[in-house]
Structure 1
Amino acid sequence: MVELKSGNSKVGIDQGELVSFVVEGHEYIHQKGSPGWRSSDTEMFPIIGPVDQAGFRVNVPNGEAIQDQHGLLRELEYVLLESTESTAQFQKEYKAGTSIKNSKFPEKSDKQWLTWPYSFIFQKSFELKDNRLTISFKITGERDMPFMLGYHPAFKIHTNDSRIITDDKDFSLDEVLAVGSRALQVADCTSIVLKDKKEIQIDTEGFGHFMCWTEVRNMVCIEPISFYPYSVEQQNLHEGFQLLEDEANFEVTLTAKI
């Protein structure tokens, strides 16, 4: 466990996963073991969304990739590169064509092994400064590698009347619940406020959109995404790819309102 501290704030990171963000005694992150989701954050890469109806296959220029929901990055383990009192940097590395065991097999998938025909390095960095936590993602790899990126944090809900607010929209938790597993789309948006017992603002760079998901009332996932996967049929998921140049950088900033 890596713990970051700054002023009255502290962050807990377990093998690259953000498991706690506490500001002046208030916990903003969904806790493992609580109803709703077994994790507290993850990344969706190199695809976002389900692929079961497409036979778990995704078309890419270098061939056909075998992927499960939200891609294979989540099956790799983070390596801690460095950490200080207020920063930490983690990395995952993948070599093209390597077979990765699928944790969803056999209960939720008939594919035991996942593959991707491109090599890449994925870095995730944390920086805590007072009541603000910045999470940065850096992707390097083969030029013109197709990819999508989504960040999937889960926030703890403390009240019965929480709201999700953008510049021009205002959603209730009931509206998110009603959409179900598809997740509520929030298109063309770079900033969201979760108004609960305390407020937290999620600002992004590089993603462009959000989707929101939950199946319970004690947590909600507010997910920055580069592409909303349910806008196309699963067989056409490749339409949502962007191409890697020298590197790609994305950023999410969580600001606790105090």
Structure 2
Amino acid sequence: MISLKIKDRWARVDNGELIGYSVDGHEFMHQKGSPGWRNTDTEMFPIIGPTAEAGFQVQTPKGTAVQDQHGLLREMPYELISQSETQATYLKKYKAGSRVVNSKYPEKSDEKELFWPYDFEFEKRIRILESGLSVSFKINAENGMPFMLGYHPAFRLSVKNPNVKANGRSISLAEVLAVGSRALHVPDCNEIVLSDAKRLRIKTEGFKSFMLWTEVPNMVCIEPITFYPYAVEQRNLHQGFQTLESSSASFKVTISPE
């Protein structure tokens, strides 16, 4: 595990996963082992959303890819490539057609292995600042590769009636819980404020909207996404792809306490 620190601000990173962010002793991130979700953050790539009803198959210009929910990137280990007191950079490399073991098999999936027909490199950089926490992503692959990207962080909740404000709208925890596994879509949005015991502002660059998800009252996932997967039928999930231009694309999420 790596600890990043600046003044009274700490971030903890375990093999590329942001497992803690605290300011003046207050922890903002959902903790592993607490009810709700087994992780604190992960990435959804190269697809977002469920694939079971489509037979776990997604169409690409290079043929059919086998993908489980939210893609195959989460099944791959990160390599630490650089580190300092305030930032850490991780990398995942994938060779086209390589089989990746699916951790959901056999309990939650029929597919033992997943694959994608393109090479790619996926870089994640976590940087702690006096003003907040920056999580940035860079995708390197061949020009024209289709993809979706989502970042999936979980935030700890400690008050009875927290709320999310986005585009002038106030969203209650009850509304998020009511939507269930499909997640509540917040379209055309690049900034959200979570009001709990303390306020947290989440701003994005490169993403198009958010999904809000939880099934418990002690945490909420505020997920920047390039595409909301339930906007189309599962067999047409490829309609949500964007294509890589100039062989790379960059995205950023800034988490700032207020």
Residue in 2 aligned with 1:177? 177
Which residue number corresponds to residue 201 of structure 1? 201
Report the 3-state secondary structure (helix = DSSP H, G, I; strand = E; otherwise coil) of the residue aligned with 2:126.
strand
Q: What secondary structure does 2:11 align onto?
A: strand
| 1:159 match: secondary structure | coil
- Map 1:142-181 → 2, pairs under 5 A: 142-181=142-181
Name the residue aligned to 1:242: 242
Which runs of structure 2 are paired with 1:26-65 in the superposition (5 Å)? 26-65=26-65
Q: Give the corresponding residue for 1:255.
A: 256
Match of 1:16 in 2: 16
Distance 1:241 1:29 in 2: 30
Distance in 2 (CA, whole Å) between partners of 1:130 and 1:6 is 6
- Is the Cα contact below 8 Å between 1:9 and 1:131 reproduced in 2? no
Mapping for residues 92-103 of structure 1, pairs under 5 Å: 92-103=92-103
C-alpha separation in 1, matches of 2:229 and 2:52:
13
Contact 1:81–1:90 at 8 Å: present in 2 too? yes
3-state SS of the aligned residue for 1:33? coil
SS of residue in 1 equivalent to 2:192: strand
Residue by residue over 1:150-188, the C-alpha shift from the partner in whole angstroms, topping out at 9 and shown as x without a partner, is 000000001001000013111000000000000000000
| Identity, % of aligned positions | 56
Q: Deviations over 1:42-82 (max 9, x none)?
A: 00000000000000000000000000000000000000001
Report the CA distance between 1:7 and its aligned residue: 1.1
Amino acid paired to 1:251: K
Contact residue 101 and residue 112 of structure 1 kept, 8 A: yes
Shift of 1:126: 1.0
Contact kept? 1:58, 1:235, Cα under 8 Å: yes
Q: CA deviation at 1:131?
A: 4.1
What do the CA deviations read for 1:194-227 (whole angstroms, capped 9, x no partner)?
Answer: 0000011000000010000000000000000000
State how far apart, in whole Å, the 2-side matches of 1:89 and 1:253 are. Answer: 16
Q: Hey, what's the Cα distance between the residues in 2 that align with 1:161 and 1:26? A: 18
Matches within 5 A, 1:55-94: 55-94=55-94
Q: Whole-Å Cα distance in 1 between the matches of residues 82 and 205 of structure 2?
A: 24
Deviation (angstroms), 1:127 = 1.1
| CA–CA separation in structure 1 for the residues paired with 2:141 and 2:81 | 18
Structure 2: segments with no counterpart, 5+ residues: none
Q: Mind listing any 5+ residue stretches in structure 1 that lack a counterpart? A: none
CA–CA distance in 1 between the matches of 2:166 and 2:68? 31
CA distance in 1, matches of 2:76, 2:218: 28
Amino acid at match of 2:224: P
RMSD: 0.5
Other-structure match for 2:125: 125
Q: Report the number of matched residues.
A: 257
Q: Are 1:23 and 1:131, in contact at CA under 8 Å, matched by a contact in 2?
A: no
Rounded to whole Å, the distance in 2 between the matches of 1:43 and 1:49 is: 12
Q: Which amino acid aligns with 2:250?
A: N
Matches of 2:82 and 2:58 in 1, distance apart?
A: 34
Other-structure match for 1:192? 192
Secondary structure of the corresponding residue to residue 74 of structure 2: helix
Task: Give the secondary-structure state (helix, strand or coil) at the position aligned to 2:175.
Answer: helix
